[in-house]
Amino acid sequence: MNLETERLLLRKPERSDLDGYMRVFGDPEVTRFLGRGGARTREEVSNGVDLMIRHWEQHGIGLFTVWRKDDDLLLGRVGFLLWDEERWVNAMFEDPQGPTETELGWTLAHAHWNQGYATEAALACRDWALGERGLTRLVSVIAPDNLGSIRVAEKIGETLEREDLPGPFVRRVDLYSLGSK
């Protein structure tokens, strides 16, 4: 499964992506709003790649690895996570027990921020999900001080739906959404 934009190729993650993902998740600025924050070790990033692959295998949807076409550089990941909408845990870590929400999320290496890549990839994912996949709703879970991600969410048509989402989050997160259940 691949998606393509003018500048980007989005494909399912592979184990061979590990070095590229180390450049992304080894940067504490990039991971500041992800989970507990802090740069990830090689072992943690390797485990994360395995979890992304497993999400695709178990749910038929997941996070894409984003490559810039002109120089074949891994920029980060953009795509989907399923969330258990009652417990607000995502399917990378725990299987959903009931109804789910489909999150569209993005994480790019710091060197590639503010160049439109996240929006370009997120638009391609949004259009694929709402078109070919037949989804009618997408959400994004975003910390209120993550202004870059909020801008991307707004550019793809999401609006703030709910503040201070309950769940096992280590910091406050808000729910942005597009479409209806």
- For residues 72 and 51, give the distance between their C-alpha atoms in angstroms, rounded to a whole number: 23
pTM over 0.85: yes
Q: In the structure encoding, which two tokens stand for residue 77, read together?
A: 């990941």
Domain count, the chain: 1
What domain range includes position 141? 2-179
Query: What CATH code is carried by the domain that includes residue 99?
Result: 3.40.630.30
Residues 6+ apart with CB under 8 A from 47: none
Give, for all 181 residues of the chain, the pLDDT tens digit: 899 999 999 999 999 999 999 999 999 999 998 887 888 999 999 999 999 999 999 999 999 999 999 999 999 999 999 999 999 999 999 999 999 999 999 999 999 999 999 999 999 999 999 999 999 999 999 999 999 999 999 999 999 999 999 989 999 999 999 998 7
Q: What is the pLDDT of residue 34?
A: 87
Q: What is the DSSP letter of 40?
A: P
Q: What is the pLDDT of residue 35?
A: 81
Rounded to 5°, the CA angle 53-55-58 comes to 110
Cβ count near 90 (within 10 Å): 20
Q: For 84-140, what is the HEC assignment? A: ECCCCCECCCCCCCCCEEEEEEEEECHHHCCCCHHHHHHHHHHHHHHCCCCCCEEEE
Output b/e per residue, 35-69; b: 16+ Cβ within 10 A.
eeeeebeeeebeebbebbbebbeebebbbbbbbee
Assign 4 to helix, strand or coil. strand
Residue type for 63, please?
A: L
Assign 27 to helix, strand or coil. coil
